[in-house]
Structure 1
Amino acid sequence: MSKQPNEKNERLKRRFVDYRKYARQLSDKTLDRELAALERFDVWNGRQDFEKFHIQWAMDFRAHLEKAKGTTGKPLSKSTARAIMATLREFTLWLSQQDGFRKRIRTSDAEYFNLSRRDEAEARAAPARPAPSIKQAKRAFEMLPATTPREMRDKAVFALLCLTGIRVGALISLRIRHIDLIEKSVTQNPREVATKFGKRIDTFFAKGFPEAEAALRAWITYLDEEALYGRDDPLFPATAIAPQSNTGFAVEGFDRRPWKSTEPVRKIVNGAFQAAKLDSFGPHAFRHMLARRATKDCTVPELVAMAQNLGHTDVLTTLRSYGQLSRERQRALITGESGDDVLED
């Protein structure tokens, strides 16, 4: 049975989180992860006062993480262990600068919260990021029905992901006025759209998806002419659930509000690929799909344009995080042996 929280430690953790939020400008989601890391260390350490810190704690905690298991029962991933250790390193650095701790804790003590070089390299290694090929995305899109208004909406969701690779959090917060069909653009104004880091992103429709453009246009036309939606209404309204006297609840049109979570979009995307008898992919996979096409076919200016389209300040982010080449593509470029059986779609 774990000990009760240590009052002194809890106050220090709260002060540290306030520092990270207001001085370092971290998001609430990141702060939650950091609090979880601090709590993990605190519980493991028996709630001992942080003011009694000794570097042996850091060394023993690293050994503990090397043997620790995650929620699935499998060994803790190196990337997770690295994130936990990074939080403890930042916390120790912060503690070393606080009144009453300067004599007890040195800034160099924080360096003991590091993984081994081998584990650090493994943690930094970019994992394989599954993404559909252009042909697979088009196949799944073609098989989506568009008979009912709900089906039209779902197909338009898939279409916009194909065209832009927009982040799913931003997608569900879009209003009709953020889409310009003539300019083929999506204006992601951070005051109105949930963009990452509150950045403004001007996104344009990727070439080669005329059917997706048509599906998006048909949906917006339906909202305008039949549903009588205005420019400030949600582009993708949530499904309305109405109570029924005999059957409980039933789907009944749309609510004039956006989805509250991203889960409906994930279901639409996964269901589309499964219906096409393809591997399941999530909404984020479209970003990888578009970035990989850019690294394969685009000129340098076009690659920079794609990076901006995805909302990346640095084109290297696009290359490192989204533009990995498959083993087959790498082989084709190095050996010069190209062909339909070697090159990606």
Structure 2
Amino acid sequence: MLEFYFSYRGVLKRLRDGALGAEMDRIAGHFFSLGYKQASAKLYLSRIARFSRFAAAHCGSRPIGEAIVDSYLCTFTTDSPRIAAVSALQRARRVVPERFIALTPIVVDDPDAPLLSSFSDYLSRVRGLEPRSRAGVLLGARRFLDWLRHRHPGQDLEALTAEHVLAAVEYRLSLSATSGTRTAAISHIRTFLRFLHWAGHHEQDLAPVVPRTPYWRLAHLPPRLSWDDVRRAIDAIGKATPIDLRDRAVLLLLATTGIRNGELRALQLRDIDWRTGEVFVRRTKGKRDRVAPLMEETGAALADYILRARPKVDSQHLFLSFTPPVGPFKYASSVSRIVRKRLQHGGIELGRVGGAHLLRHSLATQLVGRRRPINEVADLLGHQSINTTALYVKVAASQLAEVALPFPGGAA
């Protein structure tokens, strides 16, 4: 496999020397299978080969210990090459872990680990929360336990009282800056207390003790862009490079279907029904599959991306990252960066909100402004409750003016 990247016999011989020499072809195959660019793969292989020769001089053919790795990294006097070497060695460890002596994990005694593990299982199996939502509630529970241990060291959960709960709530509220974070923090404490009673850790359900904080969901306007702004940003994307074709398809799909960031990242090739012009959105936030219409322009952009730009790798995900290792987007921030970059290139000034959800808000606002039935908008967005969609009615100023009552004493 090394011959795919290097042609000179002397270079190939040097690459196959050293402690990792017998595994270098396997490592090269790993880079090839992940779609690394040839220049990037050659750079990584050269760095790994340099370490391989160093390790051979210090440990021969024996498994490579951490002392050898540390000694090698100490040969670098500046940060940049040291960081590059660490990155290369991480990839070598991933492919040939048997050639390295495994690190002995440091076990940190966490007294709350069994309880939080049981709580996580409760949130998953009983409450049916998704991993991201579950992580937020678990963090709230850990903060509650940390507060309890700091303020009342050595106290068992069985001795928890309403006074303790109210004091913990007061402390959490003092650290929250917005009504949304306050509501979330209080909800997490309430959920944890309900679990303690359900699991038998406390004989009394203390959840009703937690006060409710005022939070008016419809008190603000959703961040949104006009369709002219969205259109200008999409038209500003060229078609010269594969990245341009992918980003154009991403923005068009977000702007015309209103799908969420996670839903877009989860889309697979089989989810596009070209004959009926539909996008099948699986396992949504509300745990229901739904179908979104595929507009003609969006379908054409998707076809252009799939046929001309999509990397030829063994992945069924629709949208792929072009940065090695080539594969599906793992994080929401990757898609958000694409959206922000393209909107800014289109001359749109963005505040704190500027990711995929901004396009979702903009589509909903546009549809309401065009007098589409509110239940139709709710179905498109995948809202379980019509009250969630009602937020967008507030931005339809012309329609609200029509239902305003006449001023008392004014002209009829």
| TM-score of the superposed pair, with normalisation by structure 1 | 0.73
Identity %: 25
Conserved? CA contact 1:17–1:31, under 8 Å:
yes
Name the structure 2 match of 1:238: 321
- Higher mean C-alpha displacement, 86-95 vs 149-158: 86-95
CA distance, structure 2, for counterparts of residue 81 and residue 289 of structure 1: 27
Q: 1 CA distance for matches of 2:198 and 2:329?
A: 44
Partner residue of 1:65 out of 169, 172, 178? 172
Task: Give the deviation of 1:42 after TM superposition.
Answer: 1.8
Cα distance between partner residues in 1 of 2:240 and 2:307:
14
Q: Is 1:87 paired with 2:156?
A: no
The alignment's C-alpha RMSD in Å is 3.1
Unaligned residue ranges in structure 2 (runs of 5+): 1-107, 406-412
Give the alignment of 1:264-279 within 5 angstroms.
Answer: 264-279=334-349
Mark the CA change 1:53 to 1:176 in structure 2 (over 3 Å): closer, same or farther. Answer: same
1:186 alignment partner, SS class:
strand
Q: Which runs of 5+ in 1 are unaligned?
A: 69-74, 243-254, 337-345
- Write the deviation string for residues 29-70 of structure 1: whole angstroms up to 9, x where unpaired: 2222122112212222225321111111122223223322xx
Distance 1:133 1:160, change over 3 A: same
| Alpha-carbon distance change, 88 to 144 in structure 1, aligned in 2, over 3 angstroms | same
Superimposed CA distance per residue, residues 75-105 of structure 1 (whole angstroms, 9 cap, x where no aligned partner):
5323222222222223223333454632xxx
After the TM superposition, which residues 96-111 of structure 1 pair with which residues of structure 2 at under 5 Å, given as runs?
A: 96-99=197-200, 101-102=202-203, 106-107=204-205, 109-111=206-208
Cα offset, 1:202, TM superposition: 0.8
Aligned residues: 291
User: How far did residue 144 of structure 1 move?
Assistant: 0.9
Change (3 A) 1:148 1:203: same
TM-score, length basis structure 2: 0.62
Change (3 A) 1:298 1:50: same
Identify if the C-alpha distance between structure 1 residues 145 and 331 changes in structure 2 by more than 3 Å, giving closer, same or farther: same
Q: Which structure has more strand as a fraction of its residues?
A: 1
State whether residues 263 and 282 of structure 2, in contact with CA within 8 Å, keep that contact through their aligned partners in structure 1.
no
2:291 partner SS: strand
Q: 1:122 aligns with which of 205, 208, 215?
A: 215
Secondary structure at 2:215 match in 1: helix
Q: What displacement does 1:180 show?
A: 2.8
Supply the distance in 2 between the matched residues of 1:151 and 1:91 (Cα, whole angstroms).
47
User: What aligned pairs does 1:205-220 form with structure 2 within 5 A after superposition?
Assistant: 205=294, 211-220=297-306
Tell me the SS of whatever aligns to 2:266: coil
Moved more, 29-38 or 309-318: 309-318
Aligned partners of 2:291, 2:363: CA distance in 1, in Å? 16
Offset of residue 304 of structure 1: 2.7
Return the structure number with greater helix share.
2
Contact persistence 1:82–1:123 (CA under 8 A)? no
Q: What displacement does 1:212 show?
A: 4.1
Q: Which residue pairs with 2:179 in the alignment?
A: 78
Residues 165 and 310 of structure 1 are in contact (CA less than 8 Å); yes or no, is this contact kept in structure 2? yes
Secondary structure of the residue aligned to 2:214 is helix
